[in-house]
Amino acid sequence: MKRIVADPRKCLACRGCELACAMAHASTDDLARMIAEQASKPRIYIESAGGLAVPLQCRHCDDAPCVRVCPTSALSRQGPTAPVRSDQTKCIGCAFCVEACPFGVIRLAAARGSAVLGNGKVVLKCDLCETRVAQGLAPACVAACPVSALRFEDVDQGAKNARVRTAMAALAGFADGRE
């Protein structure tokens, strides 16, 4: 399964991913109209830590605590490799998922087409841009990142790349160190 991978060493905190995320899930393609929409909120967050900016969004955990605690099945996954989906029409706004998430990347926000009445808020989280990905596009945040701090890649492939990098570095060490 491909996931969104962030490199905090590259992130410049431009927040372009946040805007692109909100835009990708809005009912308009006009920036000014989008920000005026109550329900248009980003599902990716830039948090600062020790002078670095760290982009965070749903990790789509294999054994997802949010799915386990959801009493109405508003959070679910269709198969072992599918992203964790949220269904705002089923959400009752209990916020169990928000508390359960180890990364704090689920929030409650104004609803679009939800069963919750009045000013009720419902679950809002990264859907891994399923519609975009189905069209062969990268998730909106990845496509928007001007410095490639966000990548969309298979975790196994990412690990493989890291091993190759390590091997290359080790090889260089050997080449420099000995006859």
Partner 1 sequence: MAERQWRSIDIATNEIREYASKVGIETAWDRLEAQEPQCGFGKLGICCRNCLMGPCRIDPFGDGAREGICGATADTIVARNLLKHICAGSAAHSDHGREVIHALLLAAEGKSEAYKIRGRSKLYALADEFGIARDGRSDEAIAKDLALLLLGEFGRQEGTLLNLARAPEQQRKNWEAVGACPRGIDREIVTALHTTTVGVDNDPEHILMTCARAALADGWGGSMIASDVSDVLFGEPQPLRSRVNLGVLKEDEVNILVHGHEPTLSDVIVAAASDPELLALASAKGAKGINLAGICCTANEILMRHGVPIAGNFLQQELAVATGAVEVMLIDVQCVFPALAELQSCFHTKVVSTSPKARFPGAVHIEFHEDAAYETAKEIIRVAIENYPNRDRAKVKIPRVEEKLVAGFTTEVVHRILGGRYRPSYRPLNDGIQAGRLRGVAGVVGCNNPRFPVDNCHVELVKELIRNEVLVVQTGCSAIACAKAGLLTPEAAMKFAGKGLQEICRAVGIPPVLHVGSCVDNSRILTACAEMVKEGGIGTSFDKLPVAGAAPEWMSEKAIAIGMYFVASGIFVVIGQPLPVQGSPMVTEFLTKTMEKQFGATWAFEADPIKAARLMIDHIDRKRRELGLPGPMYEVPYAPKTAEEEPRARPEVLEAVGAGR
Residues that bind partner 1 (CB under 8 A): 14-16, 18-20, 22-23, 31-32, 35-36, 40-42, 143-144
φ/ψ bin of 113: left (φ > 0), alpha (ψ from -120 to 50), beta (otherwise): left
**Please, which residue, 18 or 127, has the CB nearer to partner 1?**
18
Backbone angles phi and psi of 6, in degrees to 5: -110, 140
**Please, which residue, 39 or 115, has the CB nearer to partner 1?**
39
φ/ψ bin of 176: left (φ > 0), alpha (ψ from -120 to 50), beta (otherwise): alpha
φ/ψ bin of 72: left (φ > 0), alpha (ψ from -120 to 50), beta (otherwise): alpha
Q: How far apart are CA 122 and CA 88, in angstroms?
A: 6
Backbone angles phi and psi of 40, in degrees to 5: -90, 105
**Please, which residue, 20 or 106, has the CB nearer to partner 1?**
20
- Min. distance of Cβ 33 from partner 1 in angstroms? 9
Q: 124: Cβ–Cβ under 8 A, 6 or more apart, which residues? A: 41, 43, 86, 88, 106, 107, 108, 109
**Please, which residue, 16 or 139, has the CB nearer to partner 1?**
16
**Please, which residue, 67 or 111, has the CB nearer to partner 1?**
111
- Min. distance of Cβ 5 from partner 1 in angstroms? 20
- Min. distance of Cβ 38 from partner 1 in angstroms? 9
- Min. distance of Cβ 140 from partner 1 in angstroms? 9
- Min. distance of Cβ 26 from partner 1 in angstroms? 11
Q: Are strands 2-6 and 150-154 parallel, antiparallel or unpaired?
A: antiparallel
